[in-house]
Structure 1
Amino acid sequence: MRTIVFIGSYKYGTSKEALKIAKEMGYCVVLCTDKTKRIKSNSDFSEVDQFVLMEDLLDEQQMVEEITRLMEQGKHICACVSLIDPYVSYAARISKSFELAETSIDSLRLMENKIAIREKLKNFPITPFYTIFRPDDSLEKFEKEYKSLFPFIIKPPISNGSKDVLLVETIEKLVNALSLLKKNHPHYPFLIEEFLQGPQYLIEILVYKNEIKFLGLVEQEVLYNGRFIVTGYSFPGKVDMDEYRSLYACISKIIEEIGLENGSCHMEMKLVSGEWKLIEINPRMAGGEMNRIIEEGTGINLLEQILKIYLGEEPILLEKKKKQVYAKYLTIGSRGKLLKISGKEQALMHEGVRHVHIKPLEGRIITSPYSMGNRYACVIAVSETAEQAEEIALEAAKEIKFYLEPF
């Protein structure tokens, strides 16, 4: 039985969608998880044929033993895949140990560490000013050297979904940010970067045999509330031809420098006074509804093509259509117990709306956003122009209402 082993999955987003796509491709789907509830009730994971429960997914010896046990059960392991940090390069390494199709392990591992990737690309023009704040560094010295350069972004080297990514405008806010981050990351140094102004873009990239096979440009709308929450995605993002050529050249140099030969990643970049600056790079497809956004605009199921690379197959990336897509994510401004959500059916009735997703269940505690995980609904609309797609999505999103009991 041809089988794909997945390491970790969220209940929603690209990691979950990959399970469904693998099943549709005809593979037996095995999910290795450290979430006991997913073993007891797989109603949310109907596409999973077999669960493997592990206390520590990063226990490489146990992972090898579990996959070996699957082989002894008669499963033909075709790939080991993860679309969740920090398991992406780890899954690629497991694949190599079983002599499966190889992806660029060292490159994927490099992208998992925000400090390591900054150091690798420190001499590139796309790299903004940054410094590394270590546990024993002096705040007084930092203030003396960099006071004139505020505001800054501070983040741990290992994070995702904008968790623990903070905007600090003063030395007092930096002190508070360091205190907060040290609680969650007591032994880490922290990355401190200049805060850049300009339109922000997410770029989905797929590389096969050293060649960029797909480059999808998505313009982002970002909510700045001391954190960085993306609330809108417009695909394809608008840039002129010179800006696109410059972007492609920058990305090609980055891909070459980090040695990504086979695999996928996404970058976040800003266009600052006509120059591209790298905000972040991650060794996987972006989360949430990114695959659906790209598929609605191009007809390409990018996740399926990414899985093909992990299976050692050549991806097929032929556009079947060209549409403008806008995805609007909804957040709330207070904290409370969710009593009910209304308006999904009404939102779907708007012409051009392709998808409406409501994330939280009734009875859950929901809150104002401090990470991307606090986006509670998504409306995706399609039209012939970017302006029309955005207008449709925003109007449809007004139909959705959250009813809370203060908590």
Structure 2
Amino acid sequence: MAKRALIMVEWSRGNGPLYIQAAHHLGLYPIALTAHPTQHDYPKGIEAIRIDTHDLDPLIRECSRLRETYDIAGITGFAGDESVSATVGKLCRHFDLPGPNPASIEQCCDKFLQRGILAKAGVPMPAYRLAANAAEIERSAADIGLPVIVKPAVGSDSRGVRLCRNLDEIVEHSLFLLGGKHIWRSPPRILVEEFAQGPHYIAHLMGNEVIAIAATEFGPPPHFVFRGYTLPAPLTDDACKSITEVSLSCLRALDLGWGPTCIEFRWTKHGPVVIEVNPRMPGGGDPKLIQLACGVDLVTEHLKLVIGEERVLRKRHSQTVVARSLLPDRDGILDWIDGGNRAAAVPGVAEVKLYVKPKIPIVRKGDNRDSMGYVVAASPSHAEAEAILKRAVDLISWSITALPPLREQEQSEQDVYQH
């Protein structure tokens, strides 16, 4: 009998190992199709094959080749580039396997198109405009009123997203986006949005069910790099109900609801407004935090959907989980980082993860790639979970030696290294 295989398109350092573990638990042999097989430190128990994951035809040919040896039970993917999710849907359709509707995914990947669909459905959102050049960005910002968010209409991981509080910052960020420093896979299209001010929340859904709502916080502006995470969010019952209702409205408008979705909100003076609908599993290891908080293993339940088995979303317990991302305060060379083992030994700490090692260059991008690691703590009490997290984070320290300003060529080489 042929071995049952799980095809995974691309890879995620946060969720990838969770999918490997879940695949093995379900008796599946994981195979990664990736454009950069040597870029990631793959764990044992997975086969990695080099392929252009932005081209559907080679993926179809490779899956057909693999089907000669394996029983392909399902296909899934990771959305460092969210177009991967649409490609996965097309692969599933081609091989008659369970998967998301690729058309629904594609209209979400284009944030301007997504906004238009949600606006027609009456979903509350910030004011927004589409721009293609610097003059249009400035004109859109003037129409909306400062401050504004300026970001690529297609993208993920907060790449190229910036809060612009005055005209100088708009000019500076326009030059960054349009001057060759931001990588575009299609003609530049830029979204200019009203800065919706208020606490930030993420609703995590599986199918048509809201599993959890998390409160998040960011590092210092003007960028939006995730720094803190609290699950469940400290919200009133009425606020939870409101976010849930708007979340389900988003699913109906965008024709989603097959698998995982995460929806970002700001709670403003008018209530919840939708910042973004992401038709995918949340990144950064969020599924692990959700399982720790309420006992629902989103990754395993997602894979059950992928291979055609019935999912079980029953919550098994309830506790508060808090996490802190370790963000550098400067660029330079990491001299040392210490205290991870001491932090992990603090009672109530669930996990400590360090991504970096001494002597590597630290080049901040202003997005979620900046994280050097994280600490997670859990407790039945919210206040106690926060106290545990603080004790652990205070035990971790590092030193970064700042370097003189780099010439353009040297900066480009370091950018390649960081990617």
Q: TM-score, normalised by structure 1?
A: 0.92
Relative to 1, partners in 2 of residues 1:215 and 1:299: Cα closer, same or farther, differing over 3 Å?
closer
Relative to 1, partners in 2 of residues 1:403 and 1:173: Cα closer, same or farther, differing over 3 Å?
closer
Match of 2:106 in 1: 109
Relative to 1, partners in 2 of residues 1:109 and 1:46: Cα closer, same or farther, differing over 3 Å?
same
Check whether the contact 1:344–1:399 (CA below 8 A) recurs between aligned residues. Answer: yes
Q: Deviations over 1:284-327 (max 9, x none)?
A: 12111201111111121111111111222221011111111101
Q: Deviations over 1:228-260 (max 9, x none)?
A: 111110000011111111111111111111111
Match of 1:17 in 2: 18
Corresponding letter in the other structure for 2:129:
T
Measured in 1, the distance between the counterparts of 2:276 and 2:62 equals 34
Relative to 1, partners in 2 of residues 1:95 and 1:139: Cα closer, same or farther, differing over 3 Å?
closer
Secondary structure at the aligned position of 2:318 is classed as: coil
Check whether the contact 2:134–2:171 (CA below 8 A) recurs between aligned residues. Answer: no
How many residue pairs are counted as aligned between the two chains?
A: 394
Structure 2 residue aligned with 1:294, among 287, 290, 306? 290
Match of 2:161 in 1: 165
Query: 1:83 aligned to 2:85?
Result: no
Q: Deviations over 1:143-175 (max 9, x none)?
A: 6534xx100001101211111001111122212
Relative to 1, partners in 2 of residues 1:143 and 1:398: Cα closer, same or farther, differing over 3 Å?
closer
Match of 2:325 in 1: 329
Query: 1:359 aligned to 2:338?
Result: no
Check whether the contact 1:332–1:369 (CA below 8 A) recurs between aligned residues. Answer: no
RMSD: 1.9
Relative to 1, partners in 2 of residues 1:268 and 1:65: Cα closer, same or farther, differing over 3 Å?
same
Relative to 1, partners in 2 of residues 1:141 and 1:112: Cα closer, same or farther, differing over 3 Å?
closer
Check whether the contact 2:123–2:249 (CA below 8 A) recurs between aligned residues. Answer: no
Measured in 2, the distance between the counterparts of 1:136 and 1:372 equals 25
Secondary structure at the aligned position of 1:228 is classed as: coil
Relative to 1, partners in 2 of residues 1:126 and 1:143: Cα closer, same or farther, differing over 3 Å?
closer
Check whether the contact 2:164–2:222 (CA below 8 A) recurs between aligned residues. Answer: yes
Match of 1:99 in 2: 96
Measured in 2, the distance between the counterparts of 1:247 and 1:192 equals 24
Secondary structure at the aligned position of 1:45 is classed as: coil
Relative to 1, partners in 2 of residues 1:369 and 1:63: Cα closer, same or farther, differing over 3 Å?
closer
The more displaced of 354-363 and 182-191 is 182-191
Query: 1:5 aligned to 2:7?
Result: yes
Match of 2:258 in 1: 262
Query: 1:373 aligned to 2:369?
Result: yes
Measured in 2, the distance between the counterparts of 1:103 and 1:113 equals 17
Secondary structure at the aligned position of 1:17 is classed as: helix
Measured in 1, the distance between the counterparts of 2:333 and 2:134 equals 41
Relative to 1, partners in 2 of residues 1:268 and 1:2: Cα closer, same or farther, differing over 3 Å?
same
For residues 188-227 of structure 1, the aligned pairs below 5 Å read 188-207=188-207, 212-227=208-223
Residue 136 of structure 1, CA deviation = 8.1
Measured in 2, the distance between the counterparts of 1:288 and 1:381 equals 15
Measured in 2, the distance between the counterparts of 1:141 and 1:235 equals 39
The more displaced of 362-371 and 166-175 is 362-371
Residue 336 of structure 1, CA deviation = 2.0
Query: 1:134 aligned to 2:132?
Result: yes
Relative to 1, partners in 2 of residues 1:144 and 1:93: Cα closer, same or farther, differing over 3 Å?
closer
Secondary structure at the aligned position of 1:381 is classed as: strand
Relative to 1, partners in 2 of residues 1:297 and 1:36: Cα closer, same or farther, differing over 3 Å?
closer
Name structure 2 gaps, 5 residues minimum. 404-419
Check whether the contact 1:369–1:375 (CA below 8 A) recurs between aligned residues. Answer: no
Relative to 1, partners in 2 of residues 1:37 and 1:115: Cα closer, same or farther, differing over 3 Å?
same
Residue 16 of structure 1, CA deviation = 3.9
Check whether the contact 2:137–2:174 (CA below 8 A) recurs between aligned residues. Answer: no
Percentage of matched positions with identical amino acids:
22
Match of 1:276 in 2: 272
The more displaced of 218-227 and 190-199 is 218-227
Residue 4 of structure 1, CA deviation = 0.7
Measured in 1, the distance between the counterparts of 2:299 and 2:236 equals 27
Structure 2 residue aligned with 1:306, among 298, 302, 307? 302
The more displaced of 129-138 and 223-232 is 129-138
Secondary structure at the aligned position of 1:402 is classed as: strand
Structure 2 residue aligned with 1:122, among 119, 122, 127? 119
